[in-house]
Amino acid sequence: MPVLWIVLIVLALGGVGYMLGRRRAMASADGDVRHLHSLPTYYGSNVALLTIAPALLFMGLWLLMQPILIERQIIGLIPESAIAEGSSRSLVMSDVRRVAEGLDTAVAQGAMTPDQADSIRTEFTDVRERLGRVGVALGSNVRPEVLRAAQHYRGLQARYSAIMTVLVLAVAVVGFGYSYLQTTKDFRARNVVETGIKSLLILASTIAILTTVGIILSMLFETRNFFSQYSWTNFFFGTTWSPSFSGRGGASQLGILPLLWGTLYISVVALLVAVPIGLFAAIYMSEYAGPKMRAIAKPLIEILAGIPTIVYGLFALITVGPMLRDYFAQPLGLGESSASVMTAGVVMGIMLIPFVSSLSDDIINAVPQSMRDGSLGLGATKSETIRQVVIPAALPGVVGAILLAASRAIGETMIVVLGAGAAARISLNPFEAMTTVTVKIVSQLTGDTDFASPETLVAFALGLTLFVITLGLNVLALYIVRKYREQYE
Amino acid sequence: MTDATANPAAAAGSPRHGSLLSQDALTKKRNAAETRFRLYGLAAVSVGILALILLLASILNNGLGSFQQTFISLDVELQEDRLDKAGNRNIEDLKKVSTFGYAPLITAAMAAKIAETGIQIEGLSAKDAGNIISKDAPAQLRDYVLANPEKIGTTVNFKVLANGRIDGYFKDRVTMASAELDSNVTPQQLMLADALKEDGVLIKGFNWGFITNPDASENRPEASGLGVAILGSLYMMLVVLILALPIGVAASIYLEEFAPKNRWTDLIEVNISNLAAVPSIVFGILGLAIFINFAGLPQSAPIVGGLVLTLMTLPTIIISTRASLKSVPPSIRDAALGVGASKMQSVFHHVLPLAAPGILTGTIIGLAQALGETAPLLLIGMVAFVREYPGAPPEGFFDPASALPVQVYNWTQRADPAFVERASGAIIVLLIFLLFMNAVAIMLRRRFERRW
Amino acid sequence: MNDMRIVEREVETKAVKISARNCQVYYGETHAIKDVNIDIEDKTVTAFIGPSGCGKSTFLRCLNRMNDTIDVARVEGEILLDGEDIYDPKVDPVQLRAKVGMVFQKPNPFPKTIYDNVAYGPRIHGLAGNKADLDVIVEKSLRRGAIWDEVKDRLDAPGTGLSGGQQQRLCIARAVATEPEVLLMDEPCSALDPIATAQVEELIDELREQYSVVIVTHSMQQAARVSQKTAFFHLGNLVEFGETGQIFTNPQDPRTESYITGRIG
């Protein structure tokens, strides 16, 4: 039974539970609401909640576990001999899944009867051709082991789905029955419902933690796989990045240093653009601009923050890149490429202007007015006050803001994908194309990916490195900013 | 203390201040520094605004063209002997005629048109003349015939797309000089286009296809459109809205109203503020590893994109929801508790409705952010070339689709310069959506802004 | 007693330092100061008293144009310092504030060292030719601020680390370091404990030897203790201005009397 149907049935059961629970409560109080412990809706909600929530949670867990269980059983079926040279179990597994999906499609389209799908043999039929006819393209001929595993896979899937349907509905019915029988006029329905809702709220708030755990685990696993195939010293200290596309392993050199260099170089250029402009813009807005000027200029600059990064990327690609090449790089003899550190850095700097300026604005405004008055009262000019009193007082906060901006710059993807180029190199010339960690994550994980080869897995190691760097910067920055705010609170 | 008062003479001896009405040299210098500093500030603001103007001008300048397209008006004879040999108008039989069967009809119609108008261009072959029409035109014609089989045997007037190079000629992307060097177009074809334009056969019109068509292949930029991408983005936004809003609001209510101050809630808070600053591409890796490789959800599907964007948007929604819950004064909660409501009732009956406009505003802004996000979608396979519209939800959530920002990226990766125009045009569409969403958010804020 | 009389007569004949003529202040639509005329004498402590919101602080801030920093504030009429109108368009408020220093309600040392706090004014106004000069000025000012002995061993410590009373005396030292002619004090003791208040009051009395001091205070006792002249403000009007002794013992205006006897305020 499709998941959607199960969900609908459970929900319907919950709806019925609501009505019945309410009615039973009213009946037990002889129709007089005043004799009930809680309002009648709470009795209804109690039944509905106990019917729906455990059943759906159970189903969610089951759906998460099912693929793992099935896979574990199937993997045992694949003999060592079926794994070709240079391939791996997980690759064969994905073949199995694909064939199984193909059989499903064939059955759904009526090209095969369910019996046929379970009984066809590679020995007698060209499975690839038959599946091709229903639009499932397979890379190679289906080996008998794979087909058998796929058929078994389908069988297991069907069986597990059936078990799940029964169990989920059973959980729902048990919840329904239990809560329905509980319903009497003295039952503290409101308290129970509120506890239930509170648990749901807590569950929702833990999603943030689950996400972080998911991020770390998903990258950690694949990174470990990567380091089992490629030495970590070569990864962290290698100065050459040249993944081979032909074979697996061997010839590839996957040193992260050129990528880190490009990332840092571009980030530094971006910060050199964004920090002075953003800071001065914030100072001007908060200390000099009249209300009219502020009302116009501030939203305009904030628009820059709302523009998606792909737009900046395109801006770099079609406008800034060619402009820098034609007016700077070529006349100065520094390069011929429109994708360059400068292009990506300048555009990223523009993107970060509103980020730096709004953070600085908050921070400058947090400096107490009495401090400014003290300086102005001594006969300091506004600029002297800002430079010698406000900025030093706001310095920790501004440093925190710059760190946050740096973390943004390091993790930014689309601008560098379109503006920085794809050549990994360590060079000082800012008009040369260089590449970054994020660009390589994109290029290694799009197109043909093979989750057994170091060339693909390296993306997870890059991702983990990126995550650790940005996390470090963020934690440090948030800590500094928080400390700074406490100082003036 | 007595020391200080003992030497008033020293103080009297120090330089006294002159008249207020004249500025001394130092003051002049300091005021000049002041003016300079102020100018730096003004310059910074101007640079920011200038960058915005340049950015928008570049996008508009490059992209507005994609909303105009060159069409050629042709009278095509739908010859029965070619399209329906059996003559029974059976749809299944008609489908057997591929687009190759339709191409000659269009070439013939073109030749007839040229003969009719009497245009003569030296060195122009009939094949070249036919090639100024888009390679997509036969498919267009076939779709029409399959929808209206009764028209077979008649002559129908069609507005077919002109080839991308011809379109580019009228948008100043292609010139006679560049055509000399271009293997895809000849100067003679351009002359023919000029002549056809004079006769009113070749016309420019609003390009609805750009909004509704699916993507087209590398050498048919003129036929490519945003239909699938817009639908895909819409589906993803639906998923984000359905998941992120309730989860975000629930999490905020817990953290703001119920959570005790302890290690666990601290951990959650730190987590949320960090997630808000995690690079978006990391969420893409998460989506790839968890949703696709682990949970086995299909690649390129809006459901996966929606899930990834939900996780990305949650921190934004939680932060803004908490801010608006916080802005509801405690007196309201006290009042509800004072009449005997439970904590839960006071939150759901009183605090939440008052905070609703703020929550909604935050949600819309979060959605707008998600709509423009590209990097994570690249990793979960949304770069794939998709020509089929996804089905209706909820099954459609699992069909392959594209997304607006990813479509932009896709088009930037293609060689034909016509796709630069398309990419910029797609950005204009994207920006219009964003503008609309932000306008709604601002309106909500203005409308319901409450001062306590 | 006879001596006292002579002293008082001397006070009366002192030169006028600041004089306000028909001074009006508006905050947006609010008429905050209404038609104030006053002569503030040199080498005298003048106290502004009155209930909260009567405009005494507002008027004080007009005297060195600190109201300029508030967008909506507008000043009309004239305020003369040594006969020159400080609101003349040719006047640079920066130069004016060097002549008319100010000490604020809350101690507001800069987040710098004690030394740099005091040296700030002399540095921006170019009063010291070299480091040695600056050292002299800093020491002299800290002595005048009656805080030298407490901080001379830790001039490099941050000014924000001092106690409240010390901070306020540091701020006074900072204000006198620029050699002002007039010192404005806006409730300088309201954030201090009684002992620190006594120290600051003693200091104010000493400052009178060189400066014209104008102090806004909430406390009538303080006004009586430190000032020679007292001005009573009420609802933006200058109700009464005269010798401190006379205001407190024999007020001419019934409103002054009500305030002093505690019936309004």
Instruction: For chain B, positions 1-60, list CB contacts with chain A under 8 A.
Output: 30-31, 33-34, 36-38, 40-45, 47-49, 51-52, 54-55, 58-59
Query: Which of B206, B241, B276 is at the close of a domain?
Result: B206
Q: Pick the residue from chain A with its C-alpha nearest to C122.
A: A378
**CB-based burial of residue C25 (10 Å sphere; 0-12 exposed, 13-18 middle, 19+ buried)?**
buried
Q: How many domains does chain C have?
A: 1
Chain B residues within an 8 Å CB radius of A287:
41
Chain A residues within an 8 Å CB radius of B272:
208
Distance between CA atoms of A285 and A279, rounded to whole angstroms? 10
Same domain as A279, residue A157: no
CATH of the domain at A458: 1.10.3720.10
Q: pLDDT averaged over chain B?
A: 85
Q: Per the CB < 8 Å rule, is C179 touching B4?
A: no
* pLDDT band per the 50, 70, 90 thresholds, residue C11: very low
* Structural domain boundaries enclosing A97: 3-204
Distance between CA atoms of A92 and B379, rounded to whole angstroms? 22
Instruction: Give the pLDDT mean for A385-405.
Output: 90
Same domain as B78, residue B122: yes
Same domain as A168, residue A42: yes
Residue A18 contacts residue A48 (beta carbons within 8 Å): yes
Instruction: Give the pLDDT mean for A298-307.
Output: 89
3-state secondary structure of C240: strand
Residue C265 resides in a domain: no
Query: Which of B63, B88, B111 is at the close of a domain?
Result: B63
Chain B CB within 8 Å of residue C86 CB: yes
Q: How many domains does chain B have?
A: 3
Same domain as B102, residue B50: no
Q: Which of A215, A304, A414 sits opposite B286 (nearest CB)?
A: A215
Residue A246 resides in a domain: no
How far out from the chain centre does Cα B131 lie?
A: 32
Distance between CA atoms of A150 and B104, rounded to whole angstroms? 46
Residue B167 resides in a domain: yes
Mutate to test the interface with B, among A413, A460, A469 (most CBs of B within 10 A): A413
Same domain as A183, residue A92: yes
Residue B115 resides in a domain: yes
Residue A214 resides in a domain: no
Percentage of chain B beyond pLDDT 70 is 95
Closest chain A C-alpha to B405 CA, distance in angstroms: 7
Q: Per the CB < 8 Å rule, is A370 touching C98?
A: no
| Strands of the sheet with B155-161, listed across from one edge | B155-161, B68-77, B202-206
Q: Is the predicted pLDDT of residue A137 greater than 70, yes or no?
A: no
* pLDDT band per the 50, 70, 90 thresholds, residue A230: confident
Instruction: Give the pLDDT mean for B113-119.
Output: 82
Instruction: For chain B, positions 373-392, list CB contacts with chain A under 8 A.
Output: 373-375, 378-379, 381, 383
Instruction: Give the pLDDT mean for B201-216.
Output: 87
Same domain as A195, residue A258: no
Question: A307-322 pLDDT, tens per residue?
Answer: 999 999 999 999 999 9
Mutate to test the interface with C, among A287, A378, A389, A484 (most CBs of C within 10 A): A378
Which chains neighbour B (Cβ–Cβ under 8 Å, 3 or more pairs)? A, C
Chain B CB within 8 Å of residue C83 CB: no
Same domain as B191, residue B175: yes
Chain A CB within 8 Å of residue C159 CB: no
Same domain as A175, residue A269: no
Give residue for tokens 């800590």.
A479
Question: C214-235 pLDDT, tens per residue?
Answer: 999 988 889 999 999 999 999 8
Same domain as A272, residue A191: no
Q: Which of C98, C110, C124 sits opposite A374 (nearest CB)?
A: C110
Residue B35 resides in a domain: yes
Range list of β-strands (E), B317-448: none
Q: Which residues contact B235 (CB under 8 A, 6 or more apart)?
A: B302, B303, B306, B390, B393, B396, B397, B401
Residue C11 resides in a domain: yes
Same domain as A176, residue A99: yes
**What does DSSP say about strands C182-186 and C100-103: parallel, antiparallel, or unpaired?**
parallel
pLDDT at C2: 44
Residue B77 resides in a domain: yes
Same domain as B390, residue B433: yes
Chain A CB within 8 Å of residue B283 CB: yes
Closest chain C C-alpha to A392 CA, distance in angstroms: 7
Question: B128-181 pLDDT, tens per residue?
Answer: 888 888 888 888 888 888 888 888 888 888 888 888 888 888 888 888 888 888
* pLDDT band per the 50, 70, 90 thresholds, residue C5: very low
Q: Which of A368, A370, A379 sits opposite C97 (nearest CB)?
A: A379
Residue B7 resides in a domain: no
Q: Which of B247, B259, B408 sits opposite A314 (nearest CB)?
A: B408
B45 or A487, which is more confident?
B45
- List b or e across B349-378, with b for residues whose CB sees 16 or more CB atoms inside 10 angstroms: ebbbebbebbbbbbbbbbbbbbbbbbbbbb
Chain C CB within 8 Å of residue B30 CB: yes
Q: Does the model's ipTM exceed the 0.95 cut? A: no
Distance between CA atoms of A485 and A363, rounded to whole angstroms? 8
pLDDT at C13: 59
Q: How many CB atoms lie within 10 A of CB C32?
A: 22
Chain B residues within an 8 Å CB radius of C209:
5, 8
* Structural domain boundaries enclosing C145: 2-260
pLDDT at A242: 85
Q: How many domains does chain A have?
A: 2
Same domain as B129, residue B142: yes
Same domain as B374, residue B275: yes
* Structural domain boundaries enclosing B441: 227-448
Residue A332 resides in a domain: yes
Q: pLDDT averaged over chain C?
A: 87
Instruction: Give the pLDDT mean for A368-395.
Output: 90
CATH of the domain at B353: 1.10.3720.10
Same domain as B136, residue B87: yes
Chain C CB within 8 Å of residue B19 CB: yes
Instruction: Give the pLDDT mean for C8-18.
Output: 65
Least confident of A136-150, A169-183, C227-241: A136-150
Same domain as B90, residue B53: no
Q: Which of A218, A313, A451 sits opposite B285 (nearest CB)?
A: A218
Q: Is the predicted pLDDT of residue C37 greater than 70, yes or no?
A: yes
Residue A230 resides in a domain: no
Query: Which of A171, A204, A237 is at the close of a domain?
Result: A204
Q: Is the predicted pLDDT of residue B1 greater than 50, yes or no?
A: no
Same domain as A402, residue A338: yes
CATH of the domain at C175: 3.40.50.300
Chain A residues within an 8 Å CB radius of B381:
446
Same domain as B349, residue B272: yes
pLDDT at B8: 38
Same domain as B116, residue B58: no
